[in-house]
A = this chain, B = another copy of it.
Amino acid sequence: MIRAGIVGASGYMGGEALRVLLDHPDVEIAWATSRSPSPVEDHHPNLFGTGIEFIHPDDAGPCDVVFLALPTAASIESARRFVDGGAKVIDLGSAFRLHDRSVWERVYGQPHTDWELAERAVYGLNELHAAEIAAADVVANPGCFSSAAILAYAPLIKEGFIRPDELVVSGLSGTAGAGAELARAAHHPEIGNNIVAYNAVDHRHTYEMEQELTALAGSRVRVHFTPVYVPITRGILDLCSGFLTRPAMRSQLLELFRDFYADAPFVAAYDLDKEEGASWQYRPYPWVSAVAGTNYCQIGIDVDEARGRVVVLCALDSVGKGGAQVGVENMNLMFDLPRTAGLTRRGAHPN
């Protein structure tokens, strides 16, 4: 059994790691930490009766793998401590996601205190970097909006189907993405029947998207990203537009996506075909509530041939495939376990 520790387990991301690992056939929980030690159900009512007690981070002993769910500065410090202690580290935060130090420091508004570790870290989008992740001792889990947008654009950008500097992304997110900390924009009377955009330009995740897509394109990619909170609890939908460089049909692009993700067990692509005659049509893909609580990702593709645009819709759970569950998928790769171990349970419907 692999012994796993979770640092910062009282938040949503750490709690989700805990929930999934409790059910993982090859893992035992070594410990879970919180700055104010307490029973797990004070923070995660779903884990009542599991007997877990949060311990103080200083009391965390050695283990095989550590999941970090911490603010940026604490994450850097903690990562170093556990790596030096011989553990593999999966950082669920943003401390190690960018390869360019000056960009990181500007975007996060602070000096990076351990860039050597950042250079060792692998960007944890395993559909692109499975082999490096398997060999890594530090993995930087991607941001949720970034995961969805990169998965949506990767096949198109790699094959040059769309113009690289006019990618437009609207990221619609449930409020779990804002975390457990109280905030006016997540106060139910304010958001419960509302739609609120924020960081209309230059959101931090933009830089991850540009980094990864530029590497695939071989030339500079520009992403124009705006996030929005909508009143669902979990899950995001990225609406991704691209302008075609050459004519393409939906069926052709669908095949491209299915080839690209042939080895990805959690990514499913569909075309958004319409049935004739309905006054407004939909196909249930992607369906945010169908992937909420899971490590699955649904992608839907449509093409406006007359206007030369491709639309890719990508749904995943910011705490699941866009967060702690993809961390577990990465752990599986790092420890040579079956990639899908502990992660195949489907979400509820309705959800």
What sequence of 0s and 1s flags, for each residue 2-44 of chain A, a beta carbon within 8 Å of any chain B beta carbon? 0000000000100110010011000000000000000001101
Chain B nearest CB from A142 CB (Å) reads: 18
Given contacts A189-B180, A193-B292, A346-B19, contact A230 B232 (CB under 8 A): yes
Cα of A350 to Cα of B178 in the assembled complex, Å: 11
The reply to whether the CB of A237 lies closer than 8 angstroms to some CB of chain B is yes
Chain B residue at minimal CB-CB distance from A203: B280
Chain B residues within an 8 Å CB radius of A289:
45-46, 190, 193-194, 233
The reply to whether the CB of A85 lies closer than 8 angstroms to some CB of chain B is no
Cα of A282 to Cα of B200 in the assembled complex, Å: 9
Q: Copy number of this protein in the oligomer?
A: 4
Given contacts A172-B195, A175-B192, A226-B239, contact A22 B346 (CB under 8 A): yes
Cα of A241 to Cα of B22 in the assembled complex, Å: 36
Chain B residues within an 8 Å CB radius of A195:
172, 230, 232, 235-237, 288, 315
Cα of A284 to Cα of B180 in the assembled complex, Å: 15
Chain B residues within an 8 Å CB radius of A272:
197, 200
Binds B, one of A62-70, A116-124, A132-140, A303-311: A303-311
6 contacts between A and B (CB under 8 A): A12-B189, A15-B349, A46-B347, A182-B182, A193-B193, A193-B351
